[in-house]
Amino acid sequence: MNTLHITEAVDRRLKALGIHPKHRGHFLRRSDKWSIQDFMDYFKGDVARVDPQGAGAQLLEVLPPSIYGMPDFRAFQNELAGYNEVVRWPLYHYRAYATGGQTQLTFFDQTEGTATLGRADTNMQAPNQLPGNQMQVAHSLRVMTFPSAVDVDVIGVVGGTAAMEWYRLLMTGCWAEVTISDKLYLVAAPLTLLPAGSGVGTFVQGSGIALSNNFAHVNNGHPSNEAIYRLDPPLGILPTRTFSVTLNWRAVQAVTTAGRIGCVLDGWRLRAVQ
């Protein structure tokens, strides 16, 4: 098929969707450069129900057109009228990883008041759901690991164990699941598919002479905010709708010293301003 035929095919498809052919170029290259008018044309009647001065307009400035394919978009859109603020918001939950390992860990089921380390562990206000006046649009899922310092930095001829143990934990027979309202929206394996996009990086220094420091640390991916798993279309979590993320292992992955592991649903928080 030559270029002319491709262009004609795209134009026919755009016409069927009610989109003006002048936006053809946006569909043939990255759509993250869309203007507000592009979004208005794309959403047509749908965007008419979005307050142009409120949260809806802010969303159109930061989200790609794939927001239209977000699960439960209609229900999400109907809620927008009550919101007038959008802020960048990493929704996170970290918890202990025991030395003996486990076959499953569930996240976002604790609150700042019930988690061991409070806000250092999570910024959830209610277990497994958002408050009635807030929604979350998640554009990425990150898995963060925190090996114990005593396994990272070891003095003596024996090297640190953290690098290999936590590498196995992230790579061996493991996967993540995202569930919203008892419906599965993501299954991803291994856990390295969901990099942290932050951290100190991976460093391994072999054992040396006695009393030398031997450093062994593994980071889940490159420590860059560009190195993340993007949810496209994003996931929308409506108010009071139950959700969870689980990390799963076919067999337990033991570590020498207990550490911490967690998940981040990074994105935007929509909330009403009193």
What is the per-residue pLDDT for 1? 40
Sort 2 into a burial class: Cβ within 10 Å, 0-12 / 13-18 / 19+.
Answer: exposed
Task: List beta partners, residue 188.
Answer: 176
**14, 52, 58, 121 alpha-carbon torsion, rounded to 10°:** -120
Query: Is the pLDDT at 230 greater than 50, yes or no?
Result: yes
For the segment 29-42, the average pLDDT, to the nearest whole number, is: 54
Rg (CA), the chain: 22
Q: What is the mean pLDDT of the chain?
A: 80
What is the per-residue pLDDT for 3? 46
What is the per-residue pLDDT for 196? 94
Question: DSSP 3-state helix, strand, coil percentages of the chain (rounded to 5)?
Answer: 30, 30, 40
Its pTM surpasses 0.75: yes
Query: Is the pLDDT at 99 greater than 50, yes or no?
Result: yes
* Strand order through the sheet with 259-271: 85-97, 259-271, 134-146, 229-237
Rounded Cα gap, residues 207 and 205, in angstroms? 7
What is the per-residue pLDDT for 45? 45
Contacts of 30 (CB under 8 A, 6+ apart): none
Contacts of 221 (CB under 8 A, 6+ apart): 192, 195, 196, 197, 227, 228
Query: Is the pLDDT at 89 greater than 70, yes or no?
Result: yes
Rounded Cα gap, residues 220 and 218, in angstroms? 7
Number of helices followed by number of strands (H, E) in the chain = 7, 11
Query: Is the pLDDT at 47 greater than 50, yes or no?
Result: no
